[in-house]
Amino acid sequence: MQTRLLQHINQPVSAIGLGCMGMSEFYGDSDDSQSLALLDKALDLGINFFDSADTYGFGHNETLLGQFIAAHKAQREQIVIATKFGIVRAKGQYERRLDNSPDYIKQACHNSLQRLGTDYIDLYYCHRRDHNTPIEDMMQTLSALVEQGDIRGIGLSEVSSATLRQAHAIHPITAVQSEYSLWSRQPEEELLETCRELGVSFVAYSPLGRAFLTGKLDTESLEAGDFRHAVPRLNGEALTNNQQIVKQFSKLATEWQYSNAQLCLAWLLNKHPHVIPIAGTRHEKYLIENAQAAKITLKSEQIDELDELFNPRNIAGERYPEAGWGGIEK
């Protein structure tokens, strides 16, 4: 697969990464043996960039990746692991508190290293900013972890351009991760340009719109514990509005001979050379389909047509329920 560069640590990664969150929670039940087989298949396809967080499954997701790493010790230098700290939740609850305090960061990093079974984390994100902790304190703590060799690169998630500039002035930021897709375009307002200016990679999560943009999501058949039940744009009148847009999108994808998912990913890759989408899936056929998107070249007219179809003014509903907005900067 084609590669892109994680800035400031000069680490090549696959142009499309694998978001692993759904292997542990939020999208219904999962099977560890199937997840491990999928991780193996991803590596076979040339995908080497794997995204996790300590809060996903309350450590389960990192433990799962630890098993994967243990099975591929000889390839550890080629496997790029990203994980996160900062969201603290009670089991069985989506509600959370945020913690970026130095003591918490150091303990969280130690715990993640233990679960992952590795000596270092390639990319360590602040999952959400806790404004009770001065950014200088957070960044100095993370910089010390780089010096110690516990982490290689520092990342930020869902931050503003102002926060990125402030953090980057203390220690180079390797990547910013935020939701970015055809129907979630907020980063285009300022953040993407700030990343380009500072030489910071941009990692796009939920590039398939939590599977809604694939045209295959049946919202009425979601499992009881599926997070998407609470997403405003997937409910009520907003859902009806957005389904009409996806129907038009599906027609375009068919006309251009791509799947919806491939077109979502190709749009990101063709539009921005510093963007790395991380698409999550638990199914091998979708993993293979997604990986093929790295080979697609779109014409500028096609990109423009998709931009207009998914103009933010056409999208109804928020991307998160109220409890999910904590720590997200605009």
Residues labelled as active-site residues: 56
Chain-centroid distance of CA 195 in Å reads 16
CA distance 167 to 53: 21
Is 244 in a helix, a strand, or coil? helix
- Give the number of C-alpha atoms closer than 13 A to the C-alpha of residue 26, restricted to the C-beta side: 23
Q: Report residue 82 as tokens.
A: 């990203």
Pairing type for strands 11-14 and 80-85 reads unpaired
* 243: enclosing H helix or E strand: helix 236-256
- Give the number of C-alpha atoms closer than 13 A to the C-alpha of residue 236, restricted to the C-beta side: 9
Residue 222, classified by CB atoms within 10 Å of its CB into exposed (0-12), middle (13-18) or buried (19+), is middle
Is 252 in a helix, a strand, or coil? helix
Range 111-134 burial, b when 16+ CB lie within 10 A, else e: ebbebbebebbbbbbbbbbbeebe
